[in-house]
């Protein structure tokens, strides 16, 4: 049986650079994560490329997901990277302006976000707490909290919960509860969101 721990669990083929990983996190095989952060309890499945992204707590990222695929400059005579990765071609200095532009467009995900298989989230997109992204979606616009989107480009399929339940869950911030509290309250996490909110509304 696989047992995770406070120390992040990394598959030997995963590559993690310049990133922060929270407790109880997991990165699966052949995933590349760079200039990003992964909140507590979040996990990333196989063959992901995640760059310049902030991922909240308790997020589930399926396989073959791309978060923040870099854009190339389209206003130059060529979109090819020799104009900015010049050094590796022996053309002189790299063009830092392009890298700064990319840096200024991070992908930001809240807590309890589920990203379906093969989805792509474009630069600069913000995804709210509790949202779900369907398989193979291309997300080009911000996604509201507790909203399910899918398709190319991604459009709203339906809200995950009523506004009342979504607001209560967001206000409750259960994702900040301690490990012990989560263990204790696990039976309630297996009930409906309505019952959960009814029981814990008002608690921190
Ligand atoms: C997006 C998703 C969560 C929606 O689930 P749902 O709310 O139960 O939606 P439904 O199955 O009732 O479908 C509602 C509509 O959305 C469409 N739809 C559902 N998933 C879609 C997707 N990924 N892309 C495009 N359209 C999709 C359906 O065709 C349906 O359209 P219609 O009303 O015109 O018939 C689910 O379909 C999905 O993509 N899950 C991701 C699974 C996955 O990748 N898992 C990886 C392992 S973690």
What is the structure's pLDDT at 203? 59
Distance in Å, CA 36 to ligand 1 centroid: 28
177 within 8 A of 169, measured Cβ to Cβ: no
Q: Whose CA is nearest to atom 12 of ligand 1?
A: 157
Angle between helices 193-200 and 179-189 (to 10 degrees): 130
Dist CA 55 CA 41 (whole Å): 11
What is the structure's pLDDT at 201? 86
Distance in Å, CA 89 to ligand 1 centroid: 45
Residue 148 CB less than 6 A away from ligand 1: yes
Residue 38 has pLDDT above 80, yes or no: yes
- Whole-number Cα distances in Å, 139 to 48, 56, 80: 16, 17, 24
Dist CA 140 CA 122 (whole Å): 5
What is the structure's pLDDT at 83? 97
Kindly state the tokens that stand for 117.
Answer: 């298989």
Summarised one tens digit per residue, pLDDT across range 141-194 is: 999 999 999 999 999 999 999 999 999 999 999 999 999 999 999 999 999 999
Residue 153 CB less than 6 A away from ligand 1: no
Q: Which among 11, 72, 164, 179 is annotated as catalytic? A: 72
Q: How far is CA 23 from the centre of its chain?
A: 16
Dist CA 43 CA 24 (whole Å): 8
Distance in Å, CA 198 to ligand 1 centroid: 28
Our answer to whether residue 72 is catalytic in this structure is yes
Dist CA 43 CA 29 (whole Å): 12
């Amino acid at each position: 049986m696989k047992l995770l721990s406070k120390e992040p669990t990394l598959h030997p083929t995963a590559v993690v650079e310049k990133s922060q990983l929270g407790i109880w996190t997991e990165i699966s095989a052949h995933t590349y994560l760079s200039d990003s952060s992964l909140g507590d309890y979040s996990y990333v499945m196989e063959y992901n490329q995640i760059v310049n992204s902030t991922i909240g707590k308790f997020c589930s990222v399926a396989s073959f997901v791309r978060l923040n695929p870099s854009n190339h400059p389209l206003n130059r005579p060529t979109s090819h990277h020799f104009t900015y990765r010049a050094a590796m071609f022996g053309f002189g200095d790299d063009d830092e302006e392009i890298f700064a532009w990319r840096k200024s467009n991070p992908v930001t995900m809240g807590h309890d976000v589920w990203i379906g298989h093969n989805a792509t989230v474009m630069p600069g997109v913000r995804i709210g707490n509790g949202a779900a992204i369907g398989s193979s979606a291309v997300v080009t616009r911000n996604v509201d909290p507790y909203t399910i989107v899918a398709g190319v480009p991604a459009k709203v399929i339906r809200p995950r919960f009523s506004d009342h339940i979504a607001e209560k869950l967001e206000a409750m911030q259960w994702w900040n509860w301690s490990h012990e509290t989560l263990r204790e309250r696990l039976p309630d996490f297996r009930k409906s969101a309505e019952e959960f909110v009814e029981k814990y509304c008002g608690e921190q």
